[in-house]
Amino acid sequence: MLSTFAIGEVSRPPTLPTFLCLSSKNLKDRLQHYDAGPEIGTQPTAIAVAKQKWPGKCFVHIFRYRQVVGVVLAACASVLLARHLQRLRLLHRRATTVKMKLQFGLLAAALLAPICEASPKAAGFQPRVVPRSTPCNCTGTIDGGNASSMYICNDSRLGPKILPKMLPLSSFLSDYDRFGGLTPGEYLAKWTTDGSYYYPDLNGFSVDPNGNAINGSLVLDVGALVDRFGSEYGDFLGAADAPYNQRSIPPSSLDTDPTAPLYPYKYYIYEVIKPLEVIAGPIAPWFGQPGLGTQFYTGNVGTILDLIDMGYLARVNASVLVSTTQGCGVGDCPW
């Protein structure tokens, strides 16, 4: 399976804070082992979907594990602090002497001191005011008129103005810096020739110090999930649920194909139906993105449409990355 693993089954659901604290620690321990995996296709920075089975076939999914684990562990610390302060408040109320009340008050202040010291305001920090809406500098772009009004600067090469807000696509794009710090025109000047994007040599694989592509033959097992942003006439796949910026593809790959409205943002996900041999390796940084995700080149066998026709791949709904439940989703879990 690609970047997927499960947390052990439990007999009954714990309370929500307890579940988060325990499973996050478990998840963090597993990630250290996961990152050390030597296999081609293992992504130290890939998204993992942590799956916790509950009675009634109810699952909890945790996306973007690195960010979520950090947030959850911080939340656990906050929960513990709140509990301590609540107990101190009760003891303070029950204290019979002024001295005891003062002692409990000082203890509460000691617990809060590290938070106060870490506050940006305590260091004289002045937050930068960011305007709600900053118009794009569209110099150097091609205005396609009203027919292209859904794109940045009305230029389809720059991708849609509105990025997806629903899972799983929203999680792929949470760290996406579309133009890598450039204006739209500067971005096009850097990454296009004759009006079209140009791609790196060696099929976009990262290279070693000698300039050789870093890749190898790999067989994708039956049941593995792979995905793709872009037309199915291509011959590259990615590890399902990898962040968009690890894929090193241009913003136009997010343009919905009007002839395929059932696949918004031109996103397709596939299940491997029979073993598929591919060339796998890390993706070279390109298009202003860091890359280094894992890509699978299928050109030796055929395009994605060919692989579907030959029975290697089957399209599946993107919701498979959000929930694999049978009538029980995240919101239905019996906390």
b/e map 67-93, b = 16+ CB within 10 Å: ebbeebbeebeeeeeeeeeeebeeebe
Q: Is residue 52 flagged as an active site residue?
A: no
Q: Which of 43, 246, 289, 295 is catalytic?
A: 295
Q: In whole angstroms, what is the distance from residue 179 CA to residue 185 CA?
A: 10
| C-alpha pair distances (Å), 314 with each of 42, 112, 115, 133, 278 | 23, 55, 51, 42, 16
Which helix (H) or strand (E) is 86 found in, with range? helix 65-94
Q: Is residue 295 flagged as an active site residue?
A: yes
Chain-centroid distance, C-alpha 60 = 17
Residue pair 197/155 in contact (Cβ under 8 Å)? The answer is no
Q: Which of 228, 246, 247, 289 is catalytic?
A: 228
247, 233, 238, 266: which is closest to 200 by C-alpha?
247
| Distant-in-sequence, close-in-space partners of 170: CB < 8 Å, separation ≥ 6 | 163, 164
| C-alpha pair distances (Å), 96 with each of 27, 84, 147, 313, 315 | 45, 20, 76, 73, 70
> Interior CA angle at 292 toward 52 and 40, to 5°?
65
φ/ψ of residue 54, rounded to 5: -120, 165
Dihedral sign computed on CA atoms, order 167, 168, 172, 177: negative
245, 227, 224, 246: which is closest to 236 by C-alpha?
227
DSSP 120: G
Which residues are known catalytic residues? 228, 295
